[in-house]
């Protein structure tokens, strides 16, 4: 049963609210002892018992409350937030966090995870440098906590979890803790992210914009929450998990993004076992791709390679053209094809761009690709560089990657036994997938991609890597073992925010050990550069 909240309260509601508040503190004091955080009066404590302490807009109430035996204090309803831009409980100038040590916590039950950013609680307004702090839920079930000491945005003061720590239509307890120059995020009392802020302190002099269930202005606009919030508490103390709000029965440890058990992990101890695993795992991976993107045979969808007259690039000729994509809709993908001058045959490289890239960027020496396709071309390779779209999942391009190899194999200039693949970022993932699934590729250079599944999930990342079923099949680093014993080189940046270096090193150690089982340990190599 829901009722719309009035903008103001009468004296009876005020008395009822503080009665609930005092009773809650007495109960908590009895549970946790006189030294618990409950003895410290919270700056804000919204119970949503058919009323609020702040001024509410677009907020209702529902008898949908957190389970697990309930809370030790009376709790019969939760706040329900709609998705209108002004939906919030506002405290604004009435409340301001002044201490660099504070905790924001709440029980949350998002209706969905469609909003890119959804405010849990915040004092954050971009206009006039009014940023102080913001605790938000991201579209993929991740949490983010920002703190500003001076009203300006500092990238080094942001921490975020990986995906799937919060699930839609499920109650979770979430907490963001600011402690000195450290920020920490907890889910159900479990630490899931932490980091040291580059600029310590808290903005405490600007006019407050404190609100529950929204952010006044974050990345250009307000950020309303969609779903239920309950027992939102802001305390000017860095609380420990033992001091967080708790249910009578402890909430379970969050499942997180990783499965408890993998379907086909690499556990081979002999080369024969490794080869059997490889055949079965490759077949299963291709089944996952086929389930989302059926492969159309060449006889039903011919390559239909079309090339314009070549441009003379000195050491090589550059052809601009296109080929027909996998599928029945006659889509075509642009490409560049380079051919060295002189008599072949020549080795060939498939050169792959990353997010937002194209065939042009891999030839440009002035960007992050450093013109690697041009370098291969000048080094005597036939180069094929396609322009691919950004599909929901990167793996859905596997069949078109196969078609690129088909093109190279069909060229009289190419030695079919010397075809390789290289790519950066999402191109690195495409490189992994292409080499893992197509043994015609004899060597691979994976740049800016390799990591463990735990590492990829530990920080915000584009979900395009996560083909449904892949995370459950094997660790993402183990996909590279489908390349073994063919040579593979990994290029990794030491400070890549998408792939924490300790997880990158762990992933490579696992890959190298797998290559050892295949009898090819030295064919897996890694280059880490300080960038």
Res 257 pLDDT > 90: no
- Contact present, 459 and 160 (Cβ < 8 Å): yes
What's the pLDDT at 410? 97
User: Which range, of 16-30, 48-62, 225-239, averages the lowest pLDDT?
Assistant: 16-30
Res 205 pLDDT > 80: no
Where do the H-state alpha helices sit in 297-449? Answer: 372-378, 398-410, 426-437
Q: What are the boundaries of each domain within the chain?
A: 11-243, 258-353+362-388+396-417+432-445+459-487+515-531
What's the pLDDT at 94? 67
- Contact present, 262 and 463 (Cβ < 8 Å): no
Instruction: Provide mean pLDDT across the span 165-185.
Output: 95
Res 38 pLDDT > 60: no
What's the pLDDT at 523? 98
What's the pLDDT at 39? 54
Task: State pLDDT tens for residues 130-141.
Answer: 899 999 999 888
Is CATH 2.60.120.200 what the domain over 11-243 is classified as, yes or no? yes
Tokens of 391: 């599909």
Q: Cα(493)–Cα(372) distance, rounded to whole angstroms?
A: 17
Q: What b-and-e string marks burial along 136-145, b requiring 16 or more CB atoms within 10 Å of the CB? A: bbbebbbbbb
Q: Cα(302)–Cα(136) distance, rounded to whole angstroms?
A: 49
Res 16 pLDDT > 70: no
Task: State pLDDT tens for residues 350-360.
Answer: 999 999 899 99
φ, ψ at 152 (rounded to 5°): -95, 160
Give the relative orientation of helices 426-437 and 398-410 as an angle to the nearest 10 degrees: 70
Given phi > 0 = left and psi -120 to 50 = alpha, else beta, which region is 486? beta
Given phi > 0 = left and psi -120 to 50 = alpha, else beta, which region is 147? beta
Q: Cα(114)–Cα(513) distance, rounded to whole angstroms?
A: 40
Q: What is the dihedral of CA 83, 89, 91, 95, to 10 degrees?
A: -90
φ, ψ at 511 (rounded to 5°): -65, -45
User: Which range, of 6-20, 205-219, 223-237, 246-260, averages the lowest pLDDT?
Assistant: 6-20
Which H or E element spans position 30?
helix 11-32
Instruction: Write the CB contacts of 316 (distance below 8 Å, at least 6 apart in sequence).
Output: 338, 339, 340, 341, 377, 378
**Mean pLDDT of all residues in the chain?**
89
In the block, tokens 């270096």 appear at: 501
Tokens of 382: 């036939």
- Where does the pLDDT of residue 93 fall: very low under 50, low under 70, confident under 90, or very high at 90 and above? low
Instruction: Give the pTM.
Output: 0.72
List the beta bridge partners of residue 191.
186
In the block, tokens 């239509």 appear at: 169
11-243 against 258-353+362-388+396-417+432-445+459-487+515-531: fold identical: no
Is CATH 3.40.50.1820 what the domain over 258-353+362-388+396-417+432-445+459-487+515-531 is classified as, yes or no? yes
- Where does the pLDDT of residue 162 fall: very low under 50, low under 70, confident under 90, or very high at 90 and above? confident
Res 21 pLDDT > 90: no
If one counts every other C-beta atom within 10 angstroms of the C-beta of residue 12, the result is 9
Q: Cα(385)–Cα(483) distance, rounded to whole angstroms?
A: 21
Task: State pLDDT tens for residues 382-424.
Answer: 999 999 998 989 999 999 999 999 999 999 999 999 999 999 9
Q: Cα(5)–Cα(1) distance, rounded to whole angstroms?
A: 13
List the beta bridge partners of residue 185.
176, 193
Q: Cα(429)–Cα(498) distance, rounded to whole angstroms?
A: 13
pLDDT above 90 covers what percent of the chain?
72
What's the pLDDT at 10? 36
What's the pLDDT at 266? 98
Res 95 pLDDT > 90: no
- Where does the pLDDT of residue 3 fall: very low under 50, low under 70, confident under 90, or very high at 90 and above? very low
Work out whether strand 143-147 and strand 210-212 pair parallel, antiparallel, or are unpaired.
Answer: unpaired
């Amino acid at each position: 049963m829901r009722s719309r909240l009035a903008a103001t309260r009468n004296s009876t509601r005020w008395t009822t609210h503080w009665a609930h508040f005092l009773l809650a503190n007495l109960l908590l004091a009895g549970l946790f002892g006189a030294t618990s955080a409950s003895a410290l009066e919270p700056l804000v404590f919204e119970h949503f018992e058919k009323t609020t302490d702040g001024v509410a807009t677009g907020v209702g109430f529902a008898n949908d409350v957190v389970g697990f035996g309930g809370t030790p204090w009376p709790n019969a309803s939760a706040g329900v937030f709609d998705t209108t831009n002004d939906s919030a409980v506002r405290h604004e100038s009435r409340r301001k966090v002044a201490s660099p040590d504070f905790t924001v916590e709440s029980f949350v039950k998002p209706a969905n995870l469609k909003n890119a950013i959804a405010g849990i609680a915040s004092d954050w307004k971009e206009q006039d440098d009014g940023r102080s702090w913001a605790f938000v839920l991201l579209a993929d079930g991740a949490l983010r906590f920002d703190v500003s000491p001076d009203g300006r945005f500092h990238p080094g003061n942001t921490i975020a979890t990986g995906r799937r720590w919060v699930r839609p239509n499920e109650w979770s307890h979430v907490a963001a803790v600011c402690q000195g120059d450290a920020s920490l995020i907890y889910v159900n009392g479990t630490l899931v992210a932490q980091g040291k802020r580059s600029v310590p302190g808290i903005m405490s002099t600007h006019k407050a914009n404190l609100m529950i269930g929204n952010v006044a202005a974050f990345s250009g606009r307000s950020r309303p929450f969609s779903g239920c919030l309950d027992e939102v508490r802001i305390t000017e103390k860095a609380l420990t998990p033992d001091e967080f709000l708790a249910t009578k029965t402890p909430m379970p440890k969050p499942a997180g993004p990783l499965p408890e058990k993998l379907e086909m992990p690499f556990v081979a101890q002999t080369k024969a076992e490794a080869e059997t695993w490889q055949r079965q795992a490759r077949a299963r991976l291709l089944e996952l791709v086929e389930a989302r993107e059926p492969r159309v045979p060449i006889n039903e969808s011919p390559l239909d390679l079309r090339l314009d007259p070549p441009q003379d690039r000195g050491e090589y000729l550059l052809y601009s053209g296109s080929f027909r994509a996998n599928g029945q809709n006659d889509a075509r993908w642009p490409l560049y094809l380079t051919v060295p001058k002189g008599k072949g045959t020549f080795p060939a490289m498939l050169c792959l761009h990353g997010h937002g890239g194209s065939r042009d960027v891999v030839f440009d020496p002035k960007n992050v690709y450093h013109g690697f396709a041009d370098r291969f071309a000048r080094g005597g390779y036939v180069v094929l560089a396609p322009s691919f779209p950004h599909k929901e999942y990167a793996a859905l391009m596997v069949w078109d990657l196969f078609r690129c190899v088909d093109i190279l194999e069909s060229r009289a200039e190419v030695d079919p036994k010397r075809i390789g693949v290289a790519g950066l970022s999402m191109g690195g993932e495409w490189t992994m997938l292409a080499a893992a699934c197509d043994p015609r590729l004899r060597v691979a250079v994976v740049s800016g991609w390799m990591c463990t599944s735990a590492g990829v999930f530990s920080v915000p990342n584009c979900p395009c890597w996560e083909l449904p079923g892949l995370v459950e099949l094997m660790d993402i680093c183990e996909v590279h073992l489908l390349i073994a014993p063919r040579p593979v080189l990994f290029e990794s940046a030491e400070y890549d925010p998408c792939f924490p270096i300790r997880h990158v090193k762990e992933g490579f150690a696992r890959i190298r050990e797998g290559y050892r089982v295949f009898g090819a340990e030295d064919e897996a190599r890694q280059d880490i550069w300080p960038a």
